[in-house]
Amino acid sequence: MNNFQGKVALITGASRGIGASVAQMLAAQGADIVINYRSKSSRAEEVANAVRGYGRNALVVQADMTNESQMQEMIKRIEEQFGRLDFLILNASGGLEKDKTADYAMRLNLTAQLLAMNLSLPLIGVGGRIIFITSHLAHFYGQQPVYTAYEPVAQSKKAGEEALRAQIPQLATKGIKLVVVSGDLIEGTITPKLMQRNSPGLIDSRRQQAGSLPTVEEFARAIVNATADPQLESGATIFVGSTDW
Ligand SMILES: NC(=O)c1ccc[n+]([C@@H]2O[C@H](COP(=O)([O-])OP(=O)(O)OC[C@H]3O[C@@H](n4cnc5c(N)ncnc54)[C@H](OP(=O)(O)O)[C@@H]3O)[C@@H](O)[C@H]2O)c1
Number of residues that make up the chain: 245
In this model, does residue 198 exceed pLDDT 90?
no
Structural domain includes residue 244: no
Please check the confidence at residue 113 and state whether its pLDDT lies above 90. yes
Domain assignment present for residue 233? The answer is yes
pLDDT tens digit sequence for 77-92? 999 999 999 999 999 9
In a domain, 3, yes or no: no
Is the residue at 245 inside a domain?
A: no
Structure confidence by residue, pLDDT tens digits, 166-197: 999 999 999 999 999 999 999 999 999 999 98
Which positions ≥6 away from 150 have C-beta within 8 Å? 96, 137, 191, 195
What are the catalytic residues?
A: 150
Residue 60 lies in a domain: yes
Measure the CA–CA gap between 50 and 44, rounded to whole angstroms: 10
Residue 207, in any domain of the structure: yes
Give me ligand 1 centre to Cα 47, in Å: 15
The one-letter amino acid at 140 = F
Confidence at residue 173, expressed as pLDDT on a 0 to 100 scale: 98
Helix/strand/coil (H/E/C) assignment for every residue in 184-223: CCCCCCHHHHHHHCCCCCHHHHHHHHHCCCCCHHHHHHHH
Nearest ligand 1 atom, CA 44:
40
Phi, psi values for residue 112, rounded to 5°:
-70, -30
Count the alpha carbons within 13 Å of 76 in the hemisphere toward its beta carbon: 8
Mutate to test the pocket of ligand 1, among 33, 90, 93 (most ligand atoms within 8 A of CB): 93
Predicted local confidence at residue 238, as pLDDT: 98
* Residue 118 clears pLDDT 90, i.e. is over it: yes
Q: Is 243 part of a structural domain of the chain?
A: no
Q: Which of 124, 4, 127 is nearest to 54 (CA)?
A: 4
B/e letters for 157-179, b = 16+ CB within 10 Å, e = fewer, are: bbbbbebbbebeeebeeeebbbb
Assess if residue 1 is contained within a domain. Answer: no
| β-pair partners for 88 | 10, 130
Terminal-to-terminal C-alpha distance of the chain:
33
CATH number at 13 reads 3.40.50.720
pLDDT tens digit sequence for 127-154: 999 999 999 999 999 999 999 999 999 9
Asked if 131 and 89 touch (Cβ cutoff 8 Å), the reply is yes
* 191 Cα–ligand 1 center, Å: 8
Structural domain containing residue 189? 8-238
Q: Whose alpha carbon is nearest atom 36 of ligand 1?
A: 13
Counting the structural domains of the chain, the total is 1
Ligand 1 atom showing the smallest separation from residue 15 Cα: 43
> Which of 25, 38, 239 should be mutated for ligand 1, with most atoms under 8 A from CB?
38
Name the CA dihedral angle for 17, 15, 180, 29, rounded to a multiple of 10 degrees. -90
H helix count then E strand count, the chain: 11, 7
Q: Of the candidates 109, 112, 85, 82, which has an alpha carbon nearest to the alpha carbon of residue 95?
A: 109
Q: 133 CA distance to ligand 1 centroid (A)?
A: 10
